Amino acid sequence: MRRLRSGKGTVSRLAGYLKRYTVLILLEVLLAGAITAFTLFIPVLCGKVIDCMTGPGKVDFDLIARYLVYMAVCVLGSGILQWISDLISNHISFSVSKDLRNDAMETVSRLPLSYVDSHKYGEVVSRVISDVDQLTDGLILGLSQFFQSVFTIVGTLVLMISISPYIALIVVLLTPVSLIVAAFLAKRTHRLFRIQAESREELAGYVNEMVSGQQTIRAFCNEDESVGNFSRINGDHMKKSLRAIFFSSITNPTTRLVNNIIYALVCLAGGLSVIDGGLTVGALSSALAFAGKYAKPFNEISGVVTELQNALACSERVFELIDEKRYPADPEEPAEIGMPEGDIRFDSVDFSYTPDRPLIEDFSLDVAKGEHVAIVGPTGAGKTTLVNLLMRFYELGSGTIYIDGTDSADIRRDAIGKTFGMVLQDTWIMHGTIRENILMGREATDEEVEKAAKLAHAHGFIMKTARGYDTVISDEDGMLSQGQRQLICIARVFLKIPPVLILDEATSSIDTRTDLRIQDAFNRLTEGRTSFVIAHRLTTIRDADRILVMNDGHIVESGRHDELLEKDGFYRKLWDSRFR
């Protein structure tokens, strides 16, 4: 996996996302300038109020009252503008997060299945959710403080020079020490935040595994070991988090110490200047206030730097996901196949999940339109892999698959998806209504949906749910049994009525009586259509036009059921083992 490095690469990419909101950022800059002007005018007014009190009985109350009104206006104005500024910075930050998540999910939806097979779901979820949240927090803090900090530094410096160039020189020469300290610590905290994010990803992945596998864990009484493993991972995450937070927390106290020393020196120099008559008490009060305000942004920037280091570490991981290699794009001028007839040909196909372990080698097969092909063989023989290649879930190592004489690599993926209807052994139900699960994004009338459900023998139990076809279900709510979820998946295919049908142990979770009915429906559906059936129950494929017996990625036998039994070969052994 290609890793981004913190610095120009990551920052420039984040800047590209922020550039989409240039108008709002410019408005944020103007607001920051106005807020800073209001804020810095208050110490000026305070100094003038102090100078209005020159001694006992020498107080200009009318002028003080006027200054107090000005101060109230500044406080009220800065408060309102700060509220608007916070709204805008939050909008920008969450908009960037939305864009990042959209881009991340765009990549996830186009990742090759080999990536999905080799990564835990929790890892991907952690990057899309947790890491983007961390980035959002950093952006909110950065946007809300960065511009105001810059204006404050410039404004206070100008005002201090106008009051006393000598005091301004002391502040300017010593304040960068705090920045040097912050930069020194930031370089070391970035790596620690990266380690913390990876540890959080591991923790999220393990929690996802344990929650989804609770039934198996309890069946094998593995609760204590699971909790023990979680405690170990959680403890490791705590140590890495504490280490990252410890080093990052040093930044702010260190910069505050430096700035307090600077403030003390300003007090000393200013006091001597008052004694010599170079400054009034009010001017010294304003200068001290400006010195504190000049140092405050450096303290805030050190805190922002800490948050930004965490945000950058998380954004690197998000960009790594966005930059993951997607499956090959569709050709610029794809082949048009219209309504496929169902002629399928494998020509010298090679494929392996890992380069050092070949699975399918020099595989060739011709399937005519309307032929009913059954694929059998032991576990790991390559049966499911064969249909996955047909659907282009994986890219071929070499060779070609033709659909109606056209290379499938030259056909758009959505056209291939419309060509095949697939029912897997593993069911998947999305969160939504039963009707939405059957439609799966397609358009159909309610009557067509009900007809498909009736063909799949799902209409009966659907009508027994709380709201019928409008009942909300999900893959994890436990409302439907495994068999009922399988029937809904089968109803999707009956609604689609594709030219080519693929059934991968489609009725494995269904009772025998319903299985017989669905087999009858499948027979009607496959009539005149090409179909591939992967089956472990050999009795369900006795009437297939052709049975392919696979072993170690090769077709070892081919023929009808009776022919294969007479050969007394590999298929006969599989058949006999069924009844022993």
Kindly report the three-state secondary structure assignment for every residue of 14-82. HHHHHHHHHHHHHHHHHHHHHHHHHHHHHHHHHHHHHHCEEECCEECHHHHHHHHHHHHHHHHHHHHHH
Q: How far is CA 532 from the centre of its chain?
A: 35
Q: Where are the alpha helices (DSSP H) in 213-323?
A: 214-219, 223-249, 251-276, 281-322
Nearest Cα to 423, choosing from 341, 354, 507?
A: 507
pLDDT at 212: 67
Q: Is 399 helix (H, G, I), strand (E, B) or coil?
A: strand
Dist CA 211 CA 196 (whole Å): 23
Q: Where would I find the beta strands (DSSP E) of 393-449?
A: 398-403, 406-407, 420-423, 432-433
Map out the domains of the chain with their CATH numbers: 8-322 (1.20.1560.10), 344-579 (3.40.50.300)
pLDDT at 76: 94
Dist CA 545 CA 383 (whole Å): 17
| β-bridge pairing 500-504 and 420-423 | parallel
Q: Which helix (H) or strand (E) holds 350?
A: strand 344-351
| β-bridge pairing 372-376 and 546-551 | parallel
pLDDT at 4: 40
Instruction: Count how many Cα atoms sit within 13 Å of the Cα of residue 368 in the half-sphere of its side chain.
Output: 4
Nearest Cα to 365, choosing from 377, 376, 357, 373?
A: 373
Dist CA 102 CA 120 (whole Å): 20
Task: Give the chain's residues under pLDDT 50.
Answer: 1-6
pLDDT at 305: 67
Please check whether residue 160 is in contact with residue 291, taking contact to mean a CB–CB distance below 8 angstroms. Answer: yes
pLDDT at 312: 78
Positive or negative, the CA dihedral 485, 489, 495, 497 is: negative
| CB atoms near residue 433 (< 10 Å) | 16
Please check whether residue 345 is in contact with residue 367, taking contact to mean a CB–CB distance below 8 angstroms. Answer: yes
Dist CA 510 CA 495 (whole Å): 19
pLDDT at 291: 74
Q: What angle do CA 16, 19, 21 make, to 5 degrees?
A: 135
Dist CA 32 CA 154 (whole Å): 12
pLDDT at 303: 63
**Residue 573 has which token pair?**
């052994």
| β-bridge pairing 530-534 and 500-504 | parallel
| CB atoms near residue 379 (< 10 Å) | 7
| CB atoms near residue 97 (< 10 Å) | 19
**Residue 82 has which token pair?**
């700060």
**369: burial class by Cβ within 10 Å (0-12, 13-18, 19+)?**
middle
pLDDT at 80: 93
